Amino acid sequence: MRIIGIDLSGPSNHKDTVLTVFKRQAGQLTFIKLLSYISDMDILNEIKYQSQIDEVVIGIDAPLSYQDGGGDRPGDKQLRQFIVTLGMKPGSIMAPTLNRMVYLTLRGIKLTREIENLETRNSVSVVEVHPGAIIGSRLLSEDLNYVLTYKQDVTARMFIRNWFKEQNLTNLPDVVQEESHSIDACAAALGAWHWKDESLEPKWLYPANPPLHPFDYSC
**Span 146-165, pLDDT tens digits:** 999 999 999 999 999 999 99
Which residues, 6+ apart, have CB-to-CB distance to 105 below 8 Å? 62, 63, 66, 96, 97
pLDDT in tens, 195-210: 999 999 999 999 999 9
Is the model's pLDDT at 76 over the cut of 90? Answer: yes
pLDDT in tens, 97-152: 999 999 999 999 999 999 999 999 999 999 999 999 999 999 999 999 999 999 99
pLDDT of residue 18: 98
Is the model's pLDDT at 37 over the cut of 90? Answer: yes
Give the global pTM. 0.97
Is the model's pLDDT at 189 over the cut of 90? Answer: yes
Which contacts (CB < 8 Å, 24+ apart) does range 36-39 have? 36/179, 36/181, 36/182, 38/14, 39/14
Amino acid occupying residue 106: L
Is residue 91 within 8 A of residue 21, CB to CB? The reply is no
Paired with 170 in beta bridges are 30
| Segment (H or E) for 129 | strand 124-129
Residue 214: Cβ within 10 Å count: 16
Is residue 216 within 8 A of residue 127, CB to CB? The reply is yes
DSSP structure class, residue 34: E
Is the model's pLDDT at 12 over the cut of 90? Answer: no
